[in-house]
Amino acid sequence: MAGIKIAGVSKVYAGGVKAVNSVSIDIADGEFIVLVGPSGCGKSTLLRMVAGLEAISDGEVSIGGRVVNRMEPAERDIAMVFQNYALYPHMTVYQNLAYGLKNRGTPKAEIDARVAEAARMLEITQYLERKPRALSGGQRQRVAMGRAIVRKPAAFLFDEPLSNLDAKLRVSMRGEIKRLQRRLGTTSIYVTHDQLEAMTLADRLVVLNGGRIEQIGSPLEVYHAPASTFVASFIGSPAMNLVSGELHGNRLAIGPAVIELGAEAPASGPVTVGIRAEDLHPAREGEAVLPFAVDYVEELGAQRLVHGQVGDQMLTVALSPEIAIGEQLSLAIDPARLHFFAVDGGKRIGKGSVPAGVAAPVVQPV
């Protein structure tokens, strides 16, 4: 059990390409951190630097208080789960699980006990004598996790472990990873490009873009108070609507519509306005109205996504299926739920907050 400290870590490749740019993250003992970002944002490179599979160009990584910059992966007391599982195809499941322990000189009896325990935990006991090729994708994934668990490392590193699975299995394995991590209480870093996976798994999210940290925060903080237009458009599905508007005093103009903010605006002049699709609702009596021309509707069952335009700007609205939809809708929004970003650079203006009534879930360790 140990925390991980990443301090000012950079990765510069030959040719001067900076894949990771001075990233610092403090990870507490037992915390589940998810690195999320589009492909090429440096999230895997960062993970591989923590693992010791990639040399650290600048900065310092310490695991459990030990600086590990110059240590081999095996000496860092970490275990890694790979995207393509990387099981040894010629070894049985048992041998796959035992290999790392054997290399460490663990006594045979203890190897047996630990493998049996991990196998029981992952429900793969009946497959121990099989070769990986005789297993399904989900079972291989479990074996890969088992290989990490038996070592009882200071930290688990997951490199997009679920992206080779089908959608249904991904959801159930996601739950299982979360449950296991809670139960074992092992510090974990998990890399994914899937924002849903990131939201559901993380204690804290780290959103990366172009090798830099855009935002660090709990899933709800990141969702309700994105630090930039990049985070706003990346986290949440459907993506947050980003339209251009103008602030004057306590008024906001979006195309033809004007919204009274009720309080002094945090800035003045042109801004990018962020609106969550589910924050918009049909206007009631006396509310400021956004005239909305419907283009087409996507049915999701529980809700429907209505795509259309306000003025000449595209907007997506999530509405309950009970609401009848004509060609025109009058929408309204609680001004407190509007997000403002600088037109230049896309940084958030004014601080956001997790709205009252949305409490962080209290999770008891199992």
Partner 1 sequence: MVENRPFLTFLTHAFLILGFAVVALPVYVAIIASTHDIATLMSGPVPLWPGSHLIENYSMILTSASAANGLPNYSHMALNSLIMAVVITIGKISISILSAFAIVYFRFPFRQLAFWIIFVTLMLPVEVRIMPTYKIVADLGMLNSWAGLTIPLIASATATFLFRQFFMTIPDEMLEAARVDGAGPMKFFRDILLPLSRTNIGALCVILFIYGWVQYLWPLLVTTDPGYYTLMMGMKRMVTVQDGVIQWQLVMAGSVLAMLPPILIVIFMQRLFIRGLTETEK
Task: Note whether 107 binds partner 1 by CB under 8 A.
Answer: no
Tell me which stretch binds partner 1 (CB under 8 A): 74-82, 251-259, 294-302, 349-357. Answer: 74-82
Tell me which stretch binds partner 1 (CB under 8 A): 29-37, 76-84, 252-260, 289-297. Answer: 76-84
CA 287 to CA 250: how far, in whole Å? 15
Is residue 15 within 8 A of residue 53, CB to CB? The reply is no
Pick one of 99, 117, 278, 303: the residue that binds partner 1 (CB under 8 A): 99
Please give the size of the binding site for partner 1, defined by CB under 8 A. 25
Instruction: Between 51 and 231, name the residue whose CB sits nearer to partner 1.
Output: 51
Instruction: Between 72 and 344, name the residue whose CB sits nearer to partner 1.
Output: 72
Instruction: Between 177 and 207, name the residue whose CB sits nearer to partner 1.
Output: 177
Residues 109-138 that bind partner 1 (CB under 8 A): 131-133
Site string for partner 1, 53-72 (x = CB under 8 A): x------------------x
Residues 138-177 that bind partner 1 (CB under 8 A): 147
Q: Within 10 A of 126 (CB to CB), how many other CB atoms are there?
A: 9
CA 190 to CA 195: how far, in whole Å? 12
Q: Within 10 A of 62 (CB to CB), how many other CB atoms are there?
A: 15
Pick one of 28, 55, 84, 110: the residue that binds partner 1 (CB under 8 A): 84
CB of 52 to partner 1, least distance (A): 8
Residues 14-53 that bind partner 1 (CB under 8 A): 51-53
Tell me which stretch binds partner 1 (CB under 8 A): 86-94, 160-168, 203-211, 257-265. Answer: 86-94
CA 45 to CA 54: how far, in whole Å? 7
Task: Note whether 238 binds partner 1 by CB under 8 A.
Answer: no
Task: Note whether 80 binds partner 1 by CB under 8 A.
Answer: yes
CB of 151 to partner 1, least distance (A): 8
CB of 187 to partner 1, least distance (A): 16
Binding region for partner 1 (CB under 8 A)? 51-53, 72-74, 78-80, 82-84, 86-90, 99-100, 103-104, 131-133, 147
